[in-house]
Amino acid sequence: MAQTAPKPAPAPPPAAALEPRASGLGHLVSEIVTGLGSVPSGAIVVASPLASDVAAPKGDELSHRVATQIAGRIAGARAHEKPATLAVARGLSGRAASLVFVQLEIVRGELRATVDLYPVVSNGWERLRNPAPGPRAHAYAAAVLDGELRSFLAPVLLEQAKLHRAKHDEGEVVGLGCGDLDADGGHEVVLVTRTKVTIGKVRAGKVVPLKSAPWTGIAPRNPVPMREPIATVLVSPRSRPGELWIGTTDRGGVVTDAALAPRRALTGLPVPGADGDACAVPVPEASALDGATIACTPPPRGEAAGAFTAPAPRADALAMLDLVGRDGRVVQITGAREPGGKLRLRRTGTTPPASAEATLENVGAQMALADLDLDGVPEIAASTETGEDQLVVASWRSTGLEPRLRFPAKEGIRAIAVCPPEERGVPILLAVVGSELWIVR
């Protein structure tokens, strides 16, 4: 991939822009405060030492950050400056109105918080009768690791990522997705062909199908399909856990459950990274997708509302990324690959140097946006347009494009997807190359 120099972004696009989602920490704290309900003014918030399945050299800082953020959302609350066990926290509560105790752990790429609201017993007789009263309220929340949360853990060295291969028997794949569809704590992969959809697990070097269904039982065929189909997949969007969102230019967009039973139709193909908030409409005469995306849910009447305008008016690959920086700020990255091989990128945010555009040359029709090392800098993973195909990963920094990984793919790349953080707390890059599923981690 070659790059032209980054330049300031033009005026905001005319269509409605999607609001960036909250950072993982912001989401977790909001869920906790909502779950606890009313907390008496004057509470003390204490977080436990962080338990983590990956190295966390700044674990105490993360515990304090969580406690501080929670206290900031509760009227009159204060956060204790150091992590402590529940027994110590009870002693620290002193004359506070109540104790909010936060048990923190990082497991399989998630920060999980179990929170209890305890009454504080100040009367001596009450302390003798019931020295450790039970909680009056309970809350639980989890957040997938992002650039802010990962900054408290050991850094990820992307250049040390290894390529692993697994065989699949699905034939010519046109779409690929990854995520925890059945809430069992592990990721499933979804492979889409022109004739069927398959959900599977990678086991012992092979994609083992768990469920497969023909397209004829999922969605009707479009009257004007494209010669070269375009397909997109969203697995268990955060706003709709347990659902599978699939779209192809052969069939349109549809939502199914984990058993591949259709639930409802979509207005178009769900845009990867948009969490089900934006769908792209096929333009058969251009063999591409319209860059003006729309809301995925069909309205009761009239036309669907605009979602966001991509950096190109026509594209055969679209993607979005809500990028969380190490400081917790969120900017939006959108990418649109024109049929001629140019990938146009746009970065929009509220603080400089948040807004920028760039154009990459010689980009193939398979593309994904992600923060693969969770350092707050976006990566572009893509195939190549000319010459022997390659899986290329590059970081888009303010200074330009920085190549990070390159894997030759003689059999051609058919689809690219990114799994949310799981093992070792980092995302996983997937690519379908011929009869193999490539796993980069």
Q: Which of 155-159, 287-291, 348-352, 356-360 has the lowest mean pLDDT?
A: 348-352
Q: What tens digit of pLDDT does each residue of 91-134 get?
A: 899 889 999 999 999 999 999 999 999 998 765 545 545 567 88
Mean per-residue pLDDT, 378-384: 97
Q: Is 3 helix (H, G, I), strand (E, B) or coil?
A: strand
| CB burial string 148-163: b at 16+ within 10 A, e below | bbbbbbeebebeebee
Q: What is the number of alpha carbons within 13 Å of residue 52 lying toward its C-beta?
A: 23
DSSP labels, 375-394? SS--EEEEEESSSS-EEEEE
Count CB-CB contacts under 10 A for residue 217: 12
Please give the pLDDT value at position 2: 56
Q: Are 405 and 440 in contact (CB under 8 A)?
A: yes
Q: What tens digit of pLDDT does each residue of 39-49 get?
A: 999 999 999 99
Please give the pLDDT value at position 125: 45
Question: What percent of the chain has a predicted confidence (pLDDT) above 90?
Answer: 85
Domains of the chain: 2-17+156-440 (2.120.10), 24-145 (3.40.50)
Q: What tens digit of pLDDT does each residue of 312-329 get?
A: 999 999 999 999 999 999
> At residue 16, does pLDDT exceed 60?
no
Q: Give how far the C-alpha of residue 204 lies from the chain's centroid of Cα atoms, to the nearest Å.
A: 26
Q: Which of 178, 283, 272 is nearest to 231 (CA)?
A: 272
Q: Which of 385, 441, 372, 383 is nearest to 416 (CA)?
A: 383
Q: Which of 11-15, 198-202, 244-248, 363-367 has the lowest mean pLDDT?
A: 11-15
Mean per-residue pLDDT, 137-143: 97
The mean pLDDT value of the chain amounts to 92
Q: Which of 377, 372, 319 is nearest to 344 (CA)?
A: 319
- Residue 437 β-bridge partners: 166, 432
> At residue 174, does pLDDT exceed 90?
yes
Please give the pLDDT value at position 398: 87
Mean per-residue pLDDT, 139-155: 97
| CB burial string 247-259: b at 16+ within 10 A, e below | bbbbbbbbbbebe
Q: Which of 71, 128, 130 is nearest to 102 (CA)?
A: 71
Mean per-residue pLDDT, 344-362: 84
Q: Tell me the C-alpha distance between 125 and 145, whole Å.
A: 45
Integer-rounded Cα Rg, in Å, for the chain is: 24
